[in-house]
């Protein structure tokens, strides 16, 4: 399957799902795209009310997820690579709680595993393909 490149942009929480939906559709149209990927800080977990409101205006929420061990290993590797060298204490203080909430059964339909069984990151194209396959199963 040939994948179209999605429009990727940084976003902030909007107070109105309808407003964010309209803004996304306008950006997609202006850039001749059909899909958008908005990224948020990894520790942001939307409430069920936010998820429901987003769904009602055609916004699908997906959490890129992995096991605690894989997420910590990726974090520590990135920290070493960037030479910032934040450690496990930082990950626990800033991500442990949100990772646990993201792992709750109620959010299972909104999660996609981004690590392979061996702990390596799955290629972006593979993750995008899964996103698109799951979109058509809604």
Question: pLDDT, tens digit, for every residue of 1-35?
Answer: 344 444 444 444 445 667 777 888 888 899 888 87
Half-sphere exposure of 131 (CA within 13 A, CB side): 22
In this structure, is residue 128 part of a structural domain? Answer: yes
Burial 15-43 (b: 16+ CB within 10 A, else e): eebeebbeebeeeeeeeeeebbebeeeee
Q: pLDDT, tens digit, for every residue of 81-105?
A: 999 999 999 999 999 999 999 999 9
Does 19 reside within a domain?
yes
Within a domain: residue 1?
A: no
Each residue's pLDDT tens digit, 28-83:
899 888 878 788 888 888 887 888 888 887 888 889 999 999 999 999 999 999 99
- Asked whether residue 42 is assigned to any structural domain, the reply reads yes
Total domains in the chain come to 1
Domain that holds residue 97: 7-135
**For residue 2, is it within any domain?**
no
- Closest CA relative to residue 133, chosen from 72, 62, 67, 75: 62
């Amino acid at each position: 399957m040939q994948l179209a490149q999605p429009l990727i942009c940084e976003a902030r929480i909007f107070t109105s799902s309808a407003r964010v939906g309209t803004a996304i559709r306008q950006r997609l149209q202006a850039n001749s795209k059909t899909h958008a990927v908005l990224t948020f800080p990894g520790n942001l977990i939307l409430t069920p009310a936010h998820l429901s409101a987003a769904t009602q205006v055609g916004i699908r929420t997906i959490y890129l997820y992995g096991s605690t061990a894989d997420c910590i290993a990726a974090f520590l590797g990135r920290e070493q690579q960037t030479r910032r060298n934040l450690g496990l204490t930082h990950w626990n203080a800033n991500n442990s709680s949100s990772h646990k909430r993201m792992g709750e059964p109620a959010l299972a339909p909104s999660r996609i595993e981004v690590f392979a069984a061996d702990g390596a990151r799955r290629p972006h194209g593979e993750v995008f393909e899964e996103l698109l396959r799951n979109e058509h199963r809604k």
